[in-house]
Amino acid sequence: MSQPWCAVENAAEIPSPALLVYPDRIRRNIDVMIAATGGVDRLRPHVKTHKMSEVVALKLTAGIRKFKAATIAEAEMCAAAGAPDVLISFAQVGPNVARLVALTAAFPKTHFSVLADDEGNILHLSTAFAQAGRTIEVWLDLDVGQHRSGIAPDERAVALYRRLHELPGTEPGGLHVYDGHVREQPLDARIAKAEDSFTAVSALSRRIRDAGLPMKRPICGGTPTFPVHSLQEDRDCSPGTCVLFDISYATKFPDLKYEFAAVLMGRVVSKPGGNRLCIDLGYKSVSPDNATLRVQLLDVPDVQVLGQWEEHLTVETAAAANYSVGDVVYGVPYHVCPTVALHREAYTVRSGRADGTWSVVARDRRLNY
């Protein structure tokens, strides 16, 4: 059997299932991100994909200074690594507001900001930060078509943005625009739909500026629309998945030129008969959010998935006779972000050998704050 590009010489030292990461590939993906925007100034990459301090460090070494996180734990990970600017792209409610106040106090060298789309939430932030004698920058989260969260870019948004400027303890940062509903292929169609969604954002920006309110460049998109917003110099971009990449985006968006930098390593644990192999890549090691293909095996040809359970993946392949129980197999996850969160650590692979581990530290919801 031929070995795939990701093969590990000392695989016998690694218990499976295991998450492997390839730092050289991560660096190259970071370089592609930077090249797409003509530099680091408009980049605010999302860390929710990798959740590892070492990857934040690679981005910092490359000159990136602005980061995006989904949780307080991810934001703390960034700050502890030395990130100067971190946006938490999720509304903080309930006890998380007090946690956010504590986080900003603990890392005074990091500029933190947060999203909001609701006046009650903004009043909570205002009260908490004003009482602490602090100020938090708040970005207005807009709904431009995904209908997941955010406020419509209309007059209500102008009024809410004004409240951020008027209230003690808060200051407006700008507009946050996540267009996750834009998934068209080819790229020209994706550009057309994303720009159509952005029309109302441009109009809202003009109304806010005409009102004399401060506003930074909008923070826009994710990996699928990164090629769209990176073309516009008046927008910051927040891709995430592309730093590790996965089968989903590689299949849906062939225009995205990134390398797979995270791989799952498993082993054949049973040959139950016929052309079947049972592999230890169940849905406790790979995200189950796709109904069919959850991991693409790189070194097992002509695979038909028969079933997946918590610890088991059973496949059928005409090449089953070439495999023995205990043989190592490699696969790229369909959705890398939640897959990474299933693993406590990732083995780093350089020059074909596993040489250490990186902790997936921010898969926990709480670190210190």
Q: Are residues 45 and 191 in the same domain?
A: yes
Q: At which of 225, 248, 271 does a domain end?
A: 248
Range of the domain at 345: 11-19+261-363
User: What is the number of domains present in the chain?
Assistant: 2
> How many angstroms separate the CA atoms of 139 and 267, rounded?
46
Domain of residue 349, CATH code: 2.40.37.20
Answer whether 17's CB lies under 8 Å from 283's CB: no
Q: Are residues 35 and 58 in the same domain?
A: yes
Mean pLDDT, residues 273-290? 96
> How many angstroms separate the CA atoms of 16 and 49, rounded?
21
> How many angstroms separate the CA atoms of 65 and 58, rounded?
11
Mean pLDDT, residues 260-288? 97
Domain of residue 217, CATH code: 3.20.20.10
**Is the residue at 3 inside a domain?**
no
- Higher model confidence: residue 3 or residue 259? 259
Quote the mean pLDDT of the chain. 97
Q: Are residues 58 and 189 in the same domain?
A: yes
Q: Are residues 308 and 234 in the same domain?
A: no
Q: At which of 248, 278, 305 does a domain end?
A: 248
Mean pLDDT, residues 244-261? 97
* pLDDT one-digit tens code per residue, 13-27: 999 999 999 999 999
Contacts of 219 (CB under 8 A, 6+ apart): 44, 68, 87, 89, 139, 174, 175, 176, 177, 235, 236, 237, 238
> How many angstroms separate the CA atoms of 68 and 273, rounded?
48
The angle that helices 53-61 and 23-36 make with each other, rounded to 10 degrees, is 50
Q: Are residues 311 and 212 in the same domain?
A: no
* pLDDT one-digit tens code per residue, 137-195: 999 999 999 999 999 999 999 999 999 999 999 999 999 999 999 999 999 999 999 99
Q: Are residues 269 and 207 in the same domain?
A: no
Give which of 151, 230, 156, 246 is closest to 195, Cα–Cα. Answer: 230
Mean pLDDT, residues 95-101? 98
> How many angstroms separate the CA atoms of 104 and 170, rounded?
13
pLDDT band at 365 (very low <50, low <70, confident <90, very high): very high
Q: Are residues 164 and 91 in the same domain?
A: yes
pLDDT at 188: 96
pLDDT at 292: 84
H or E element in which residue 200 lies: helix 187-210
pLDDT band at 211 (very low <50, low <70, confident <90, very high): very high
* pLDDT one-digit tens code per residue, 323-347: 999 999 999 999 999 999 999 999 9
Mean pLDDT, residues 96-121? 98
Q: Are residues 191 and 333 in the same domain?
A: no
Q: Which two tokens stand for residue 97?
A: 């507001």
Q: At which of 248, 282, 311 does a domain end?
A: 248
pLDDT band at 1 (very low <50, low <70, confident <90, very high): low
pTM of the model: 0.97
**Percentage of the chain surpassing pLDDT 90?**
98
Asked whether the bond before 17 is cis by omega within 30 degrees of 0, the reply is: yes
**Is the residue at 5 inside a domain?**
no
**Percentage of the chain surpassing pLDDT 70?**
100
Q: Are residues 69 and 208 in the same domain?
A: yes
> How many angstroms separate the CA atoms of 113 and 133, rounded?
16
